[in-house]
Amino acid sequence: MAQFRLGQLLPDLYKELGQLNVSVATGGSTTTIADTKLVGRYADGVWIEGAAGVIYDAGGAGATPQNEFNRISNYVDSTGTLTVDTAFVGTPASGDVFWFANEFYPLRILVELINDGLRSLGDITLVDTTTLDTAVQQTEYAASVTWKHRRPRAIAYQGRTGDANDNRWIQIHDVDFIPAAGGSTGLIILPQLPATRDIRVIYEDSHPRLSIYSDSVNEAINPQLAIKACAVQALQWQNSRLQGSDTAILQRLNQAQADLALAKGDLRPYKYQKRRKIFSVGGSHIDEDEFQVPTG
């Protein structure tokens, strides 16, 4: 599965909400996208507080990064020109496919609602191999604050060094976790291990925050599931803002909640399944996926 970035999720969400417009630019600059086909169709300033972004760079040279987006700060109907409040990395040019949306779902609000939607899907499995290294005569290690949300699912140490593609991680079963006050690190208690080895911690936490167009949705979440979860958050916000006065929004919210429930059943996010211990021989644990029944 290719990376699904915020810059792709955002227009897909606007489309799900019925707010997406797509056109082909006839020119632009680092702060504008122009399309003469729009002239005479809308009032000046109508798109302010909405959003605009590039779907496809027709030049193919990466002059304007695909999926980049910004808040619309002005619109001039006589030239069909959208102005954004922050410069694009490159320059939108004639032939670039772009999208735009109005302020019914303001850009900055929608980005917050996207983060709410991703978090609403529950914790995801994350991996940390950089925080801790084994040390001589040490069994107590400071646990990252991010691991405190739930007890780490699994901890292993590097069985082989010097080859980034062949670490041969060794699962550690004799582990204790000591929590601490809010905002401070707890302790992970491990047996004495060989020194200067990476420690791999598999843990669960809420989805990392997305803020710029290149931020990626975690691959454990199917893009369609992400869109539907974010649509529910956006419609709930809109329904609350309008105090339930718009029956079309309320009906759409009810349908979106039903669609999300179905998607959760079909597209459930990946969860790490800890290997279960079968039995112990001479103090050594044998894992379910390490135990094989002899054949023949």
The model's pLDDT over 175-216, given as tens digits with 9 standing for 90+, comes to 998 888 888 888 999 999 999 999 999 999 999 999 999 999
Q: What is the DSSP letter of 91?
A: -
Which of 172, 205, 238 is the C-terminal boundary of a domain? 205
- Cα–Cα dist 67/216, whole Å: 12
pLDDT in the model for residue 196:
95
Whether residues 214 and 113 share a domain: the answer is yes
Give, to the nearest 10 degrees, the angle between helix 223-241 and helix 107-120: 120
pLDDT of residue 281: 47
Q: Give yes or no: residues 98 and 36 share one domain.
A: yes
Query: What's the pLDDT score for residue 295?
Result: 37
3-state secondary structure of 264: helix
User: 256 and 116 in one domain?
Assistant: yes
In this structure, the answer to whether residues 74 and 133 fall within a common structural domain is no
Low-confidence ranges of the chain (pLDDT < 50): 278-281, 283-296
Is 5 part of a structural domain of the chain? Answer: no
Residue 9 in any domain: the answer is no
Report the half-sphere exposure of 215 (CA within 13 A, side-chain side).
Answer: 15
CA distance 215 to 225: 17
Q: Are 145 and 215 members of one domain?
A: no
Nearest to 205 by CA among 291, 127, 260, 292: 127
- Residue 267, in any domain of the structure: yes
Per-residue confidence (pLDDT) for residue 274, from 0 to 100: 61
Neighbours of 227 (CB within 10 A): 23
**Residue range of the domain that includes 158:** 124-205
pLDDT of residue 66: 84
91 plus 150 within the same structural domain: no
Domain boundary among 205, 221, 242: 205
Note whether 273 and 154 are same-domain residues: no
Q: Are 3 and 215 in contact (CB under 8 A)?
A: no
